[in-house]
Chain A
Amino acid sequence: MADFILPNLGDGVAQGDVLKVLVKVGDMVAVDQAVVELETDKATIEVPSSVAGKVKEVKAKPGDKVKPGQVILVLEAGAESAASAPVAAPAVAEAPAAPAAAEAPAAPAVAERPKVVDIAAGRPAPATAPPAPSAASIVTAAPAAPSVRRLAREIGVDVSQVPGTGPGGRITQDDVKEFAKRVMNSFGSGGQAAAASRPAGSGPALPDFSKWGEVERKAMSGIRRKTAEHLSHAWNAIPHVTQFDKADITNLEAMRKKYRGEAEKAGGNLTVTAVAVKVIATALKVFPQFNASVDAAGEAIVYKKYINVGIAVDTDNGLLVPVIRNADQKNLIQLSVDIQQLADKAKARKLTLDEMSGGSMSISNLGGIGGTAFTPIVNWPEVAILGISRGGFEPVWNGTAFEPRQMLPLSLSYDHRLIDGADAIRFLRWVVEALENPFTLALRG
């Protein structure tokens, strides 16, 4: 007999609400079959089973709060179950992105599982492996003496985040002090600031607004809270610079309209965003420092050999950034289909954590709404983000006369620790030229 125990849902995800149980008593469950749908702070995820067999008992029902380590299903082990049960090793073979995953904070073997990392939580893994989601983290507090826990509390360190150097992962006073020092040093230089800093918005107490008129107080939604934490961290950790340029997309617009029907037939929408994804995916090959992350604590730069492009999506619930995998290997039709699907999922709150992590660089297109320029915040741990504002006709001097040309305003924010201004403007010029003359994608990409 084997039980399906809820696996670790990724850093920072301590629990989820059961939305749906996808199996019932008597069902046969296979390894990797989705068995329960959970709503976490950031997304709705389907959790696949790590074991196979016949369902004997379902220990969760919609509305339950469940935590990693909790038994969800009691199974009678099936004939072929056990062999495939131990960690999903085959997943690596199936996942083209897997080799790169070794660099990522998540454990490589689980690349295909909807485990992993909400965008707010890409903290470097602690030096020692975190105690298995087994006992330690669930029942009891961190393995630290009461005096050590008190010290941590007093200096504002979450003791469960501190890697213990003692036997059995025991956390010493020195570990706490060392951790606090690292956090202090990493402000403004990436690293673990988020781990210790208070949630976004903490600071001096707010005045009593009701003195000036009626107010209403509402709790932050899970997404809003995570967004606030994540963006505060990105803003604190990354020295931002933003540069602006404009691309003449008169010709591109003509072509886009010409081929739009083809994309529609495939179920996509050939938007400016789709073209921008293609351009960025190609540019990342030419400018590898834009497809990197800064490991401030390890004093290293992590270059990614995969190209995944994130797109900021505005939803009723807030900002979400789904990621298009291997964008460099997809043509415009495929990209427009992918974007459509991810955007639909985002709006339905159906994105998995996996679908929102592992980006190389992100694009935020506000052009549909308006604006002439803006300074997007880099989606840490990425190092650059492209902002797109509203395009429109402008008089452009062609050498002899002003000509009405359709111009698209672009903003590029980047991490100045890694990217120099000259490189950034070269990158942005490359993007502009590719938009003006898509032939360069084939020529130089």
Chain B
Amino acid sequence: MSSHIAVIGAGPGGYAAAFYAADLGLKVTLIDNEKNPGGVCLYRGCIPSKALLHVAKVLDEAKHAKDWGIEFAAPKIDIDMVRDYKNRVVEKLTSGTGQVAKFRKVNYLQGWASIVDARTIHVKKADGGEETVSVDYMILATGSTPTKIPSLSIDSPRVLDSTSALDLPEIPKTMLVVGGGYIGLELGSVYAALGTKVSVVEMTPGLLPGADRDLVKILAQRIEKIYDKVMVSTKVTGMKVAGGGNPSGGGGNPSGGGGNPSGLPGITVSFEGEGAPKEATYDYVLVSIGRRPNATIAGLDKTKVKVDAKGFIETDGQRRTAEPTIFAIGDVAGEPMLAHKASHEARVAVEAIEGHKSVFEPAAIPAVVFTDPEIAWAGLTEAEAEKQGIKVEVAKFPWPASGRAIAIDRTDGLTKLLIDPATERILGVGIVGSGAGELIAEGVLAIEMGATASDLKLTIHAHPTLSETVMESAEMFFGQATHVYKPKRKS
């Protein structure tokens, strides 16, 4: 008889685990409080934000077309329809995963799980019923939620997190994004394109902490253009409802034409930092300062599962917790909190349950920021190389030398390779520019395959594409890029 696996949480980690286990012939129960599998990623994260970023991109390009001799009238934005479009995207995908779960005979339980013991789960179902499931293995894939700053939390519909920001209550006139990480920049860009005057405040000296500065610089130039104000090295010290009045009930009061919220009190924010005002009032504030793992699972204390100081469930290379029959994957099992990391871990954990010697040991996990331009990197970064004292040679190809980039009028890009000078092996790839998120795939493959700069150089890339910038970066390493004259320095 095959084992019975229960997966708690049906995000891209959980449903990937459930589907894979089902494909391998295991009996699978998948538990989540949403109607269909999807999790934050499909319902409130990656996917809806990409739908809106697509809308933003069309708006931006329409404006940009003026430079090419085509002028459109100011767009008429029906925010309800925009929201509806986003919701249709979500609905289409999540009903799809629901179907696929059915086809695979996954026992999907909509409800709330609590652990009774290492082999038993109790589910309070959304339809009011209750069910107790006994299993051989559990995979915890409970994900993460946006971090709140307790001292700054005020209860107002004008203070958004990534979830409520995606609901597009209306098009605000002004908005402050707290936190210059990828979530804030992506959502901020959406609102900026819709016509909101967006400001961003970041505590560290630069946007996107963790990413290489040369990549961020190119994005920052653009952000500074489309945002009202970029405040780095600045702290938010207080937040209150403007004028002391009651915040409106929100509930969407779209004003059709260009977002003029109807005189409702905004949020007054006080700052501490050079170049920042002491105080300013915004229609809305989006708090996007990070995410924290959802490791407070009811009944977890009845198992040997351990949670570390940062709130992540501790696992080994196979994603097995201290309780041998319980695995944890995705955001709840550690950084980086990325959907594709979770899906990969899902396969490792299921294979481990099946007795295979699988281990989570990627050579590179791509990170993509879906701003415009996009930033993407994989493997070693320059900052990390410096920190660890690793000698690398960096080969850069600036996009102003790319034919395709010029043709689409998007030369605001850079492709770079981090190369081990001893072996010429590709250790890291960083890209900023239009479509960087797609281009990074080649870099990840190069790193995983142990490819050398010669391998990339000798691979024919289609012309004229932005992917050529990867090949030409490799050529730069040898001082022989076709479209850039820069002889290799003799050392």
Contacts and interface: CB of A to CB of B under 8 A. Distances in A.
A370 B449 CA distance: 59
Given A5-B389, A70-B388, A143-B450, A136 B423 contact: yes
A200 B380 CA distance: 35
Nearest to B392: A135
A210 interface: no
A140 B358 CA distance: 17
A131 B389 contact: no
A132 B449 CA distance: 19
Nearest to B453: A168
Contacts of A69: 388-390
A154 B356 contact: yes
Contacts of B391: 134-135
Contact of B450 (A134, A150, A168): A168
A371 B452 CA distance: 61
Nearest to A142: B450
A138 B450 contact: no
A167 interface: yes
B359 A134 contact: no
A140 B423 CA distance: 13
B455 A167 contact: yes
B210 to A, nearest CB: 15
A70 B384 CA distance: 12
Interface string A157-193: 0000000101111110000000000000000000000
A135 B450 CA distance: 13
B78 interface: no
Interface in B395-439: 420, 422-425, 427
Interface residues of B, number: 31
Given A131-B422, A143-B425, A145-B448, A138 B454 contact: no
12 contacts: A5-B389, A69-B389, A134-B422, A136-B422, A139-B379, A140-B363, A141-B363, A149-B361, A154-B357, A164-B450, A166-B450, A170-B425
B447 interface: yes
B385 interface: yes
Contact of A132 (B384, B422, B427): B422
Contact of B420 (A134, A141, A154, A171): A134
A167 B452 contact: yes
Given A69-B390, A134-B420, A167-B424, A140 B380 contact: yes
Contacts of B392: 135
Given A146-B448, A167-B454, A168-B423, A135 B385 contact: yes
A368 B389 CA distance: 50
A153 B424 CA distance: 26
Interface string A83-112: 000000000000000000000000000000
Contacts of B420: 131, 134-136, 168
B388 A139 contact: yes
A281 B287 CA distance: 76
Interface in B284-315: none
Given A131-B420, A136-B423, A167-B455, 19 more contacts: A5-B389, A134-B422, A135-B385, A135-B392, A135-B425, A138-B390, A139-B379, A139-B390, A139-B427, A140-B427, A142-B450, A145-B449, A145-B450, A153-B359, A168-B420, A168-B450, A168-B452, A169-B425, A170-B452
Contacts of A136: 420, 422-423, 425, 427
Interface string B272-283: 000000000000
Contacts of A3: 389
Contacts of B363: 140-141, 146
- Classify the interface of chain B: helix, strand, loop or mixed: loop
B421 to A, nearest CB: 8
Contacts of B424: 167-168
Contacts of B455: 167
A348 B50 CA distance: 63
A164 B379 CA distance: 21
A35 B363 CA distance: 33
Nearest to B455: A167
B358 A70 contact: no
B452 A140 contact: no
A169 B423 contact: yes
Contacts of A146: 362-363, 448
Contact of A70 (B379, B380, B389): B389
A70 B391 CA distance: 11
A169 B426 CA distance: 12
B154 to A, nearest CB: 42
A5 B422 CA distance: 17
Contact of A71 (B389, B423, B452): B389
A135 B390 contact: yes
Contacts of B388: 69-71, 138-139
Interface string A47-62: 0000000000000000
Interface string A117-136: 00000000000000110111
A153 B420 CA distance: 25
Nearest to B425: A168
B447 to A, nearest CB: 7
Contacts of A168: 420, 423-425, 450, 452
A144 interface: yes
A134 B390 contact: yes
Nearest to B359: A153
A70 B455 CA distance: 29
Contacts of A135: 380, 385, 390-392, 420, 425, 427
Contacts of B427: 135-136, 139-140
A408 to B, nearest CB: 52
A131 B450 CA distance: 13
A171 B380 CA distance: 20
Contacts of A169: 423, 425, 450
B450 to A, nearest CB: 3
Given A3-B389, A145-B448, A166-B450, A131 B423 contact: yes
Contacts of B447: 140
Contacts of B364: 140
A129 to B, nearest CB: 9
Interface in B436-472: 447-452, 454-455
A140 B361 CA distance: 9
Nearest to A171: B450
A143 B420 CA distance: 12
Nearest to A172: B450
B202 to A, nearest CB: 27
A160 B380 CA distance: 19
A127 B454 CA distance: 23
Closest 7 CB pairs of A and B: A143-B450, A168-B423, A71-B389, A170-B450, A168-B452, A135-B390, A168-B425
A138 B390 CA distance: 8
